[in-house]
Chain A
Amino acid sequence: MELPPSHSPATRAAALAAAFVCYRRGSPGRGLALRAVRRAVRQGIDGVGTKYHLELLLEDILDKDRTVNCTAEVFYHLGNKTTAPDVQFTIEGELKNADEADDIFYKRIKSLEKELVAENIPDSHGNVSPEMEPVRLLAWAASGYVVWQNSTENTKFQLAQIKHVKQVKRSDEYLEFDYTILLHEMVSQEIIPWQMTVLWHPRHGVQVTQDSQKPKHTSE
């Protein structure tokens, strides 16, 4: 069934697909975001789940004029809360090459004497310092994993803020960061604190090795 692209079932599935793409293709030097939903088709599969076929337009966060078309299939498993939706995608055309930016970040962090520590990215006024932008893009990519794992047809997540990030020094070639992020869930409007341990290497992509929802403080 053809869905109006502006209607919520389509936009939620699209947000999930975009998050998954960010996880698979994002890095400190590259961030992707959903620009538009061109087309959405929903197909219910009795007793099994719901499938969405999507045609999306994605933009490069660092270069707004640069967009790529993306087709994606999202499959929400019926009633199963523990299984993440299946997502597959194809990107038409080339994404901007992030190798140089990634390498610069990699070398910079590897050469730090003291582990990187930072909070509140962006800050209350939306500021992100240039040095923190790659740290943020890495979180953007890694949060795509968390979003993917926790999405249903009734959720729409966005990364609201990095509350805290701490580098964990490793003896191997990987960079490791321990993030506490705030996810904004659009339907419930909740702000959900989430911890994630992120591993990254320029040639090996982003991995979330550990993640868990954190308790919210009721006094806030």
Chain B
Amino acid sequence: MGFKKLWGAVGTQDGLSWLLLMRVLLLLAALVAAATGTETFVGHQVLRIVPTNDEELQKVEELQNLEELQLDFWLAPRRLGHPVDIRVPFPSLQPVKAHLEANGISYSIMIKDVQALVDRERMEMLRSRRQLPLSTNTFDYTTYHTLDEIYAFIDLLVAENPNLVSKLEIGQSTEKRPLYVLKFSKGGTNRPAIWIDTGIHSREWVTQASGVWFAKKIVQDHENDEGLASILDKMDIFLEIVTNPDGFAFTQTQNRLWRKTRSKNSGSLCVGVDPNRNWDAGFGGSGASGNPCSETYRGPYANSEPEVKAIVDFVKNHGNIKAFISIHSYSQLLLYPYGYTTTPVPDQKELHEISQKAVAALSSLYGTSYDYGSIITTIYQASGGTIDWTYNQGIKYSFTFELRDTGRYGFLLPASQIVPTAQETWLALQVIMQHARDHLY
């Protein structure tokens, strides 16, 4: 920072006249580095120059002789038209650039911060020692992953596709884990949107795993698949892969069959609230338990769970979500509201028809058979459920999936079934999304 002040004060074109000052500073830096035994590349840049005439070539060659600048030629000057790459330490950046500019030599910045690159490489080396994937192309979709691995996948996906994918943090769990939502968007402002969540019940592992697969699928197909491309032309897709990260971590470390959140319940030794009974739809009625020790404990009040509140806030603030799909396992069912009452929803006929089409599409791939219907008639009465609330918010296309299987493995679905499950489910999701796209309201 002090360097800029000095040069600015002089306002000279040729910064080389400040070499004396530079020498002192560089000497100091060298002493510090020697004392601490580290060399840092913070702020160093790699510049590329392509000399187009002899004069330019000569000027660049001259730079080699100025030892005080501590320039590191990655590609030394050789001939006209051949690139010259120079790592320039931070203190020398200004004088070197000024020198080039003063002589009309154009350059480009190949690396903006060498230290950042070094850091990333160090991390990648650590990763490859622990065998973490370096890209979403080497990620193993055929196995179950830890929370850290899924969060790393999310970051990789965003980094690889910055124009399509972004990561939103919509809140924090009880145990302060971030709640991440992926946004897939081709542009626009607050476009009508589709919401998909997986893993709200932590033991339903095939759902988080499918969520990871969906994320990659969207990225792979967003241009070449007509259906998906046309959906994204009009709508955004939001995907929350690990909707209950505390529960998920608990299934990895303590109890594979944990379902609920991990919030403490006052006056009870029992932990956790059923996040699919905690929504403000028929809350308090039959179809949920008031006992904290129960797997269907509704919680002390609606939206008491931060995992639920985060989505509620997101949906309300967004205001333009047109389809909401919450994914569970197991039972092989496609369900629409209501769960808390036998009163059919006004859009029952349309939702039933969509379900029929979606299930047919799903079955077409591997012959997996699904039943469909309203929650209350098809599985059981459930109050405070997610899609009952979203439907009552006006999100007409509200669906819940119960993925494979029907009980042979149940929650402990073999990893070999992850990809087939995700593939067939994706076909059903596309039916729903396309219907929403064609019937925006």
A interface with B by C-beta (< 8 Å): 4-8, 11, 15, 33-36, 61, 122-127, 158-161, 182, 184, 186-191, 218-220
Contacts and interface: CB of A to CB of B under 8 A. Distances in A.
Instruction: Classify chain B: how many residues form its interface, as a range.
Output: 35 or more
B3 to A, nearest CB: 56
Nearest to A33: B408
Chain B contact residues: helix, strand, loop or mixed: loop
Contacts of B406: 33-34
Contacts of A219: 269, 271
Contacts of A220: 254-255, 258
B373 A7 contact: yes
Interface stretch (B226-234, B235-243, B374-382): B374-382
A218 B292 CA distance: 10
Contacts of B407: 15, 33-34, 158-159, 184
Nearest to B333: A6
Contact of A122 (B294, B296, B412): B412
A122 B409 CA distance: 8
B41 interface: no
B294 A161 contact: no
A8 B378 CA distance: 5
B111 interface: no
Given A33-B407, A124-B412, A219-B269, A188 B295 contact: yes
Contacts, number: 86
Given A36-B369, A191-B257, A220-B258, A184 B269 contact: no
Interface in B400-428: 406-417
B245 to A, nearest CB: 17
A190 B295 contact: yes
Given A6-B373, A218-B270, A220-B254, A186 B412 contact: no
Contacts of A126: 409, 412-417
Contact of B144 (A6, A125, A191, A218): A125
A218 B407 CA distance: 25
Nearest to B269: A218
B408 A188 contact: no
Nearest to B256: A124
Interface string B344-377: 0000000000000000000000000101110001
B412 A161 contact: yes
B293 interface: yes
12 contacts: A6-B372, A11-B371, A15-B407, A35-B369, A124-B251, A125-B412, A126-B415, A161-B257, A184-B411, A188-B294, A189-B259, A219-B271
A124 B251 CA distance: 9
Contact of B414 (A5, A11, A127, A218): A127
Contacts of A191: 257, 295
B263 to A, nearest CB: 15
